[in-house]
Amino acid sequence: MRIPPMMACCGIVALAALPVTAQKAPREAKSVVVPSNVEWTNTLIKVRHGEWLRFEASGEIRLSYDRDDTSPASGSRSNRLADKAPFPAIPLGTLIGRVNSGKPFAIGNTTQAFQMPADGTLFLGVNDDHVPDNSGNFVVKIWKTRELGNQGTRELSPPKGGPVHKFPSSLVH
């Protein structure tokens, strides 16, 4: 089985995601509005390295003044890319996150739990190289989930001096 492109991309550093069955957000989940015309939105959520979070995104944004240039949290309907976007290898409009000013990671509309790559404050944004012409927002429910540890994951050997990537065992041969 091959690793999905979003997971195989080198921009996902020190981040692990485990496939799990879809789970509805619990009542204690925090809802955060992520405006598409703001580069990064401070969620005011403090995270710790290794802690597991889940995200449930809803909404649709417009990526330019063109009314047909829309995107759900999974990314632009046209799969458009931009070299100067925070995460150039994934479609514009994809919901992304980062801890403090660290490397961004793709969230999209996944049903996976994400392991936080560092201690700090969680920020969410839209993968776009020019946000002033965007409109609309995503509403993202965020909640902490039980630590999943290394169950079902296998560490891949990092490139010399590079970060360790963790992928579900079913994706690694």
Whole-Å CA distances, 150 to 18, 40, 156: 10, 30, 12
Band (147; pLDDT cuts 50, 70, 90): low
- Is residue 142 within 8 A of residue 34, CB to CB? The reply is no
For residue 86, give every residue at least 6 positions away whose Cβ sits within 8 Å of its Cβ, in sequence order, or none: 39, 96, 98, 104, 125, 127
**pLDDT per residue over 6-54, tens digit each?**
443 444 333 444 444 456 888 889 999 999 999 999 999 999 999 999 9
Give the HSE-up count for residue 22: Cα atoms under 13 Å, Cβ half-sphere: 5
Rg (CA), the chain: 16
Examine the pLDDT at 161 and tell me if it is beyond 70. Answer: no
- What 8-state DSSP symbol labels residue 160? T
pLDDT tens digits, 95-116: 999 999 999 999 999 878 999 9
The whole-chain average pLDDT of the chain stands at: 80
Superfamily the domain 5-171 falls into: Galactose-binding lectin (2.60.120.430)
Q: Tell me the H-state helices in 27-104.
A: none
d(CA 106, CA 87): 8
Q: Is the CB of residue 160 less than 8 Å from the CB of residue 9?
A: no
Decide if pLDDT at 78 tops 90. Answer: yes
**pLDDT at 75 exceeding the cut of 90:** yes
Higher pLDDT, 171 or 82: 82
Tell me: pLDDT of 146 over 90. no
Q: Are 54 and 25 in contact (CB under 8 A)?
A: yes
Q: Are 106 and 30 in contact (CB under 8 A)?
A: no
Q: Is the pLDDT of residue 157 over 70?
A: no
Asked whether the whole model's pTM tops 0.75, one would answer no
Percent of the chain with pLDDT over 90: 65
Main-chain phi, psi angles of 5, to 5 degrees: -55, -40
Distance CA 88, CA 147 (A): 30
